[in-house]
Structure 1
Amino acid sequence: MVDWLNYHHLMYFWMVAKEGGITPAAEALHLSQPTLSTQIQKLEKSMGIKLFERRGRSMVLTEMGQMVFRYADEIFSIGNELTDAVRGRPSKDTLRLLVGVPDVLHKLVTYRILKPVLEMGERVKLVCYEGKMQELLADLAMHRLDVVLADSQLTPELNVKAFNHLLGQCDVTVFGTAAMAKKYSRDFPRSLDGAPMLLPTQNTLLRRSLEQWFDHQDITPDVAHEFEDSAVLKVFGQAGEGMIVVPTAISHDVANQYSLKPIGRIAEVVERFYAISVERRLKHPAVVAICESAREDLFSDET
């Protein structure tokens, strides 16, 4: 039982968790690594718990360490707000949402999923980080992120303790310029055989699903170019370099933003979208808001 919490020790722990290790935290705090390690050990001893465990060369928060980090994060956030208030600075946003977005995820889908955060009654500061899925999940596990958006479920082999929250699903639609729509809409999907297409790269779930569908339909499109970034792919589609495939849930956005026309809908190819968090039961108000809105609005016709 802790009779009196040493906030200096708590701050040192908080910095180590935030920075991802003793070395970067020691540099940020201008302390020696042995000194910082000793302070963390004193905090663990006073609380009677282990806050970190070693996995190879990395320090990973234990389950109790994750809980303490959440409290510490809130404590020092409130402390910063108090300092600002005393000094007469404008109050900071009352809520922050740290989101991880894989670089292969459709940018328009990301915007539509996160849009409800901008419409919440309380002020929210949205901070988005883009990267590879495995890197984002590592940050999630270290509580540097509140949630990671994904187009596939977290699998056990990734060795991250987190939970999948299905936001919804939808099939996909083929888009092209007006001239392409006029040419390829007739006799769809047979018209895709030998037709110029722009596809996502091989490392995406959508590409694998499309290739299975092409094989089943005995269709061999002319893959003109491949793109990992979905936004770049759409720009090339807008320029008439080939037809593109997008989630039907963002069809209106694609048509309006890129001046493209729908050519045909592929009901057999389904994209699913998830919010991945360390919580089995979502508590962050902004995460709850995006999940509810996605299920009730964005994907309501498909789920």
Structure 2
Amino acid sequence: MNLHHLSIFHAIAETGSISASARRLHISQPALSRELKTFEARLGVTLFERMPRGMQLTQAGQVLYEHATRLFAIEHAAEAAVREVAEARSGRLTLGASNTIGTYVLPRILAGMRTQHPDIEVTLFVGNTEQVSRGVVDLRFMLGFIEGPLHVDGLAAVTFQEDELVPVVAAGDPLLARKRLHLEQVVRQPLLMRERGSGTREVITTLLRERGMDAPDRIMEFGNTEALKQAAIHGGGVAWLPRICMQTELRDGLLCELGLRSLHIRRPLKVLHRATAALAPLQHAFLERLQPGLGDRL
């Protein structure tokens, strides 16, 4: 496949416009249109529908766009890695982090990093453990940070901190009035959980399974920790939340811990990278800022 044609296709898919793509690539519109027609003819498919307000991807075009995006992300990562070898104080740092780490741990570190390295480019993707792990394998992220079990081959993981998942409810919840609280009583309540693929959800369901509890029926799913926390504050049910994310709410009485220490979950926060890849200087500098000596442990 001609990469020049692929880059033209990718530009049109992102801009939705022949004219905008021509300006981006410094090619005349007629020349760009000819190149696109040639590319479509070689593939034997139509990649775009020509609409009054721009170019719309066909089903075949959408499939190709997803692959092209991954390919060019690898290209950008390769360029960034080469630059970092030459000069650790500049370059690009692409990170993926699961929700707790990406929201409550890394922003402070990244802010300090920019102060020391003002010329670096930083991209932080926040998703669930599965998405982050896959992103490191696919070379979209130089480093990943997860709080759940690692199920992807080819990665090395090192624990850099521990966190605690605590079962909580809103102030005034009837569970708080019970003198002796049992697990069965908790599981019968509406449970607030992260989406499937989340490391947080996996460790909670594992805990319940180990205690002989089937998967609860009454589950409300949330795509991020902050939304889940707000639902718990407003009386939506029982939630296991990272202690690191709710210190203010616990102090102010908006959330209350359930009196079952057996339901508290200690979990490691891990940094991961490709097992066969050496750390670039910029990655090493970032890890040292996160925790002295961490870069040497990977």
Normalising by structure 1, we get a TM-score of 0.56
Residue from 59, 73, 81 that aligns with 1:70: 81
* Local SS of the residue matching 1:119: helix
1:274 aligns to 2:270 (yes or no):
yes
For 1:50-199, list aligned pairs within 5 A. 70-72=81-83, 96-101=92-97, 105-107=98-100, 110-120=103-113, 122-123=116-117, 126-131=122-127, 136=132, 140=136, 143-152=139-148, 154-157=150-153, 161-180=154-173, 183=176, 186-190=179-183, 191-199=185-193
Q: Distance in 1 between matches of 2:208 and 2:6?
A: 49
Which residue pairs with 1:41 in the alignment? none
Contact 2:101 2:146 (8 Å CA) reproduced: no
The alpha carbon displacement at 1:244 in A equals 0.9
Q: Distance in 1 between matches of 2:149 and 2:171?
A: 36
The alpha carbon displacement at 1:237 in A equals 0.9
Contiguous gaps of at least 5 residues in structure 2: 12-23, 37-66
The list of structure 1 runs, each at least 4 consecutive aligned residues, that deviate by more than 6 angstroms after superposition, is 57-61, 65-68
1:261/1:127 Cα in 2 relative to 1: closer, same or farther (>3 Å)? same
1:251/1:111 Cα in 2 relative to 1: closer, same or farther (>3 Å)? closer
Q: Distance in 1 between matches of 2:211 and 2:135?
A: 41
Which residue pairs with 1:255 in the alignment? 250
253-262 vs 191-200, greater mean Cα deviation = 253-262
1:293/1:183 Cα in 2 relative to 1: closer, same or farther (>3 Å)? farther
Which residue pairs with 1:209 in the alignment? 203
Q: Deviations over 1:123-174 (max 9, x none)?
A: 45543224566665565456553322222355454xxx54323223333211
Q: Distance in 2 between matches of 1:135 and 1:202?
A: 11
The alpha carbon displacement at 1:245 in A equals 0.3
Letter in 1 for 2:232: G
Q: Distance in 2 between matches of 1:215 and 1:135?
A: 24
Q: Deviations over 1:200-231 (max 9, x none)?
A: 23433333332333344455767352223222
1:281/1:177 Cα in 2 relative to 1: closer, same or farther (>3 Å)? same
Contact 1:117 1:289 (8 Å CA) reproduced: no
1:24/1:256 Cα in 2 relative to 1: closer, same or farther (>3 Å)? farther
* Local SS of the residue matching 2:105: helix
Contact 1:147 1:275 (8 Å CA) reproduced: yes
* Local SS of the residue matching 1:203: coil
Which residue pairs with 1:287 in the alignment? 287
Which residue pairs with 1:238 in the alignment? 233
* Local SS of the residue matching 1:175: strand
1:141/1:215 Cα in 2 relative to 1: closer, same or farther (>3 Å)? closer
Normalising by structure 2, we get a TM-score of 0.56
The alpha carbon displacement at 1:235 in A equals 1.4
1:282/1:107 Cα in 2 relative to 1: closer, same or farther (>3 Å)? same
Contact 2:104 2:245 (8 Å CA) reproduced: no
1:151/1:23 Cα in 2 relative to 1: closer, same or farther (>3 Å)? farther
Contiguous gaps of at least 5 residues in structure 1: 1-20, 34-56, 79-92, 296-303
1:155/1:173 Cα in 2 relative to 1: closer, same or farther (>3 Å)? closer
Identity, in percent, stands at 12
Contact 2:148 2:200 (8 Å CA) reproduced: no
Letter in 2 for 1:200: R
Letter in 2 for 1:118: A
1:184/1:94 Cα in 2 relative to 1: closer, same or farther (>3 Å)? farther
